[in-house]
Amino acid sequence: MPGKHSAEVVGAGLAGLTAAIALAQRGWSVRLHERDSEVRAIGAGIYVWGNGLATLEALGLSDAATGAHVGPALESRDHRNRTIERVPINGPGQPRVVTIMRDHLIGTLVRGAKDAGVEIRTGSEAVEAHPDGTLILRSGETVRADVILAADGVNSRLRRHYDVVARRARMKQGAIRLTVPQSAEYVPAADRDKYLEYFSGRRRVLYTPSSETSLYVALVADEDDREASRIPVDAAAWTRSFPHLAALLSACAGATGRWDTFEFLTLTRWSLGRLAFLGDAAHAQPPYLGQGGGCAMMSALGLADALSTPGSPVDQRLRDWEYAQRPVVEHTQRWSYRLRKLNNLPDTARSALLHAGALAPRLGASRMRAARTVPTGHGRFAGAPPL
Ligand SMILES: Cc1cc2nc3c(=O)[nH]c(=O)nc-3n(C[C@H](O)[C@H](O)[C@H](O)COP(=O)(O)OP(=O)(O)OC[C@H]3O[C@@H](n4cnc5c(N)ncnc54)[C@H](O)[C@@H]3O)c2cc1C
């Protein structure tokens, strides 16, 4: 259609898919490039908080949460399996969060993209992008658009040409993520529906029902903890730290897992001319709040709103988007960065700190700021408690 605005989006993860759908729904002509031969997600679950859910609702894709698990509480347990913090969720006035299998979420977004008219090109790797709106592909093709969105993940190749990284830190901690079938053997019946986080020494186990049948497990440890980061999972080593989870850890040993080291990244600016960085390419965070994907989706929706607001040139709209989004995203990043320290504390000090945190509602509200944020259009968001 003549006069239609055009976008080339690089990366079919949560950020790229969300931005592509939202722009196409606002009348843009959108092409999405994914370097892999298909759009796929790793075999794990994901926490989708209120901001992610509100984004899915705004895209008309609430059915992404169909079959998701809706837990009653998040509980942290100490090395003796005693509850040290309990956050009630999903009740009136409480934070909303569901857990879902990543392939179901990505599959729903791919369907949404196709329905919205996005052209998805798999096996299409981008190698360079320029602020004048030029994108160069591995195939040798050069394409031009009103805006280029680099949603190519924390190791963004498109970002490498520009001096925009303000801070990047590898956390020296990471996690094995895997899925096992749910079973009554793993935890007592009263705990089965909860989201449970177990601490012991410098290791953590995250127990996350993510559908009626699937249980997502994350095993968090220091990068140099050789036996804890080994794949397949070393059930004996993990059971030494968590004897009460022996049945679960033995099931994990038979599952296909993937280790990822956590990263933190901030940029000096999120855009240059007609080129914008979004999602993990702009603001990666360690997953202690389960908000990297939520922030990516929330911010991508805000980007589409900002770009579709008439009256100013594209580079100005991108700056407006950053101005609107950056405070809540960076606030969330700061919190997730701080929370890494919990892993490094002795068991007794950690328990005392978490117990004190549970008794401080303002602290809890601050930590949950992004989770309570909802889009209101024009790239702006509301509903968050004060910083
Ligand atoms: C252990 C762990 C647990 C987490 N848990 C949660 C959670 O519970 N909730 C939550 O919200 N977040 C969570 N996160 C964070 C979340 O997974 C990320 O923030 C989110 O997936 C980032 O999405 P993205 O689209 O920005 O990047 P990515 O998911 O990395 O997607 C980038 C895409 O770009 C493609 N690509 C890369 N380079 C190119 C190129 N040159 N050309 C074309 N395509 C390219 C890649 O193949 C990929 O498909 C977790 C992260 C980790 C490590």
Mean pLDDT for back-to-back runs of 10 residues, the chain (387 residues):
84 98 98 97 93 94 94 93 91 92 97 98 98 98 98 98 96 96 97 96 96 97 96 98 98 96 97 98 95 96 94 95 93 89 84 74 68 64 48
CB atoms within 10 A of CB 254: 11
Asked whether 290 lines ligand 1 (CB < 6 A), one says yes
Asked whether 152 lines ligand 1 (CB < 6 A), one says yes
Q: Give the model's pLDDT for residue 387.
A: 34
Asked whether 53 lines ligand 1 (CB < 6 A), one says no
Matching residue, tokens 């790797």: 125
Nearest to 378 by CA among 322, 307, 318, 313: 307
Residue having the nearest C-alpha atom to atom 29 of ligand 1: 13
User: What's the gap in Å between 14 CA and the centre of ligand 1?
Assistant: 7
Residue having the nearest C-alpha atom to atom 31 of ligand 1: 13
Coil, helix or strand at residue 300: helix
Asked whether 46 lines ligand 1 (CB < 6 A), one says yes
Cα distance between residue 372 and residue 54, in whole Å: 9
Q: Give the model's pLDDT for residue 1.
A: 44
Domains and CATH numbers, the chain: 6-168+262-382 (3.50.50.60), 171-258 (3.30.9.10)
Beta bridge partners of 73: 88
Ligand 1 pocket, mutate which of 102, 125, 152 (most atoms under 8 A from CB): 152
pTM of the model: 0.95
Look up residue 249 and give its two tokens: 């850890």
Ligand 1 atom nearest to CA at 11: 34
Q: Give the model's pLDDT for residue 345.
A: 85
Matching residue, tokens 């960065």: 337
The backbone torsions φ and ψ at residue 94, rounded to the nearest 5 degrees and listed phi first, read: -100, 160
Q: Are the C-beta atoms of 109 and 20 separated by less than 8 Å?
A: no
Matching residue, tokens 């220091």: 222
Matching residue, tokens 């709103």: 305
b vs e for 319-342, b when ≥16 Cβ sit within 10 Å of the residue's Cβ? bbbbebbbebbebbbebbbebbeb
Coil, helix or strand at residue 40: coil
Cα distance between residue 6 and residue 118, in whole Å: 11
